[in-house]
Structure 1
């Protein structure tokens, strides 16, 4: 049985160029060769990206690659090497459509491959071991010695090795998986609120398929921003309200034009414990597949 490593780039595959800037240069085979695993592994390269460039088209490609790879009964699990900036979003995108008992495990690194103390080899070795031994777990992220479920995961450190944690006190239940459908082409921006924000950002959006509102506190925005969001909701544009607070759940408790309770009464949906980025993936998947967004949030 093989663990399949799918390489997409990211810091784990990066080295410094002549100017000292980090760019993905290593192949999946080179990453596996340097990680010290004793498992039987084969590697394939599908991209060489900084994960800040991992758009919906690339997420679609990864979904197809994983699905096709799991047709091979000799594959015991899949590891995806990925940049950390959007790892949590890609992990959830894969988890929402994952029905196989074999795990998909994402990993990466905070230090480049040519750093004096690279963390990528240990992360990859641990992810391979997880993919070889776990069953029925859905999509996971293995990082800095910890293994996390995709749902509710967030990056909380810019440079520290232990960059990931869960936003909820305990792991969140996985919703029933949906059949994959293309996400590319959907326009779902994230707009962040701030104290006293006016309506200008909402009014400048143009045509959108949905909106993620990264609100304050438990899910509130200023009155002016709330009034602009209300116009979108009355036009039938789906709006999901997340929070800029790192931990805790969105709950619609407050009134007023920008209060979560008011927006909820107009049809806005709370993101629960999902970050704005993960909420965007959940809403995109719901719109692409025609399911009620509540079922994926």
Structure 2
């Protein structure tokens, strides 16, 4: 169970002696809680108490609660509402910090969803693992210990939502997963700028915000489907090419979506650097910006979707959160 790993936590976040109150651990499943079934497939089976015990944490240090047990690729907006409410409840009940374990497939999306509404000074730290609970050289134990120490560290109060992974403590905003299996796993796409003021969590459940990928010569059929009278989109995120561009046919479709009043954000499939929306033409970022499209900055398509959903639910101008 959680054997020692070669990934070593930053010394500044590897000690639990600075705890000044209980840390609340909330779990959602993911690889950190996975074991192999009879067919060799990874399945989230371990509970919050299992993780605490395997990491050698004491009940006086950490209280543990299971929220759900999922692969993070399956987490819905309704699940996110449940997670956000549970974190809020833990803080309201006196947690000095909160740790959330999560699968790595969408960890950065959930981290930003929390950060956009987190209005407390109490640290909230997400973590997970690239290797399963029963892997002989697992990384979950060190990641969990590092996250707990970071959540307990008074120096992290007021810093918003953070992610501890592979010995590094990173902000939620602008975070991307950069490798499918490397123990470092996550990094920042670039300078995301200052953290915007938190907004109210008004519930994301039911919002329809697709991410539509551009490719060279892409048409408008998937964009036009967002205007379907039976299942219209509440917002749209375009995973554009380069610094925020797409072919002219797709761009014309985006223009129609914007003309219909559907909030639209342009991100990019490029992992590093900001969207600039500088080019002209029907599919150029500058042309679509002039029609009302919002640039995602360094936020990935997934984080752009979460940001747009949060803004629409809270009834605020989406541009203010980018």
Do both proteins adopt the same fold according to a TM-score greater than 0.5, normalized to the shorter chain?
yes
Deviations 1:19-67 (A, max 9, x none): 0000000001110111134671110001000000111001100111111
Distance 2:122 2:41 in 1: 37
Indicate the residue corresponding to 2:55 in structure 1. 35
Aligned with 1:105: secondary structure? strand
Deviates more, 1:33-42 or 1:21-30: 33-42
Summarize deviations over 1:199-237 as a string: whole Å, max 9, x none: 122123331001000000000000000001100011111
Q: For 1:110-139, what per-residue CA distance to the aligned partner results, in whole angstroms no more than 9, with x for missing partners?
A: 000011101000000000000011211110
**Aligned-partner Cα distance in 2 for 1:160–1:178:** 34
* Unmatched 5+ stretches in structure 1: none
Q: Determine the structure 2 residue equivalent to 1:93.
A: 113
Contact 2:147 2:164 in 1 (8 A): yes
Question: Residue 214 of structure 2 corresponds to which residue in structure 1?
Answer: 193
Runs of 4+ with deviation above 6 angstroms? none
Q: What is the CA distance between 1:172 and its match in structure 2?
A: 3.1
Partner of 2:260 in structure 1? Answer: 235
Matched residue count: 295
Judge conservation of contact 2:192–2:298 (CA < 8 Å) in 1.
no
Measured after TM superposition, the shift of residue 179 of structure 1 is 1.0
Give the 3 Å change call, closer, same or farther, for CA 128–294 of structure 1 in structure 2.
Answer: same
The answer on 1:219 being equivalent to 2:240 is: no
Q: How does 1:111-190 map to 2 (within 5 A)?
A: 111-133=131-153, 134-168=156-190, 170=191, 172-190=193-211
d(CA) in 2 for partners of 1:54, 1:172: 27
Give me the whole-angstrom Cα distance separating, in 2, the residues matched to 1:167 and 1:157: 13
Q: CA RMSD in A?
A: 1.0
Q: Does 1:79 align with 2:99?
A: yes
Distance in structure 2 (CA, Å) of the matches to 1:137 and 1:202: 38
The CA deviation string for residues 181-213 of structure 1, in whole angstroms up to 9 with x for no partner, is 110100000000011111122123331001000
TM-score by length of 2: 0.90
CA drift of 1:171 comes to 5.7
Contact 1:220–1:259 under 8 Å retained in 2: yes
CA displacement, residues 259-289 of structure 1 (integer Å, 9 cap, x when unaligned): 0010001000000010000000000011001
User: 1:172, 1:79 → 2: CA distance?
Assistant: 25
Specify the alignment match of 1:245 in structure 2: 270
Aligned to 1:293: 318
**Cα distance in 2 for residues equivalent to 1:118 and 1:271:** 35
Secondary structure class of the residue paired with 2:152: helix
Matched-pair contact (CA < 8 Å) for 2:224–2:257:
no
Match of 1:210 among 235, 244, 260: 235
**8 Å contact 1:51–1:85 — kept in the other structure?**
yes
Specify the SS of the correspondent of 1:34: helix
Give, in angstroms, the shift of residue 147 of structure 1: 0.4
Q: Normalising by structure 1, report the TM-score.
A: 0.97
For the 8 Å contact 1:213–1:276, the answer to whether it is kept is yes
Structure 2 residue corresponding to 1:3, chosen from 23, 30, 43: 23
SS in 2 for 1:147: strand
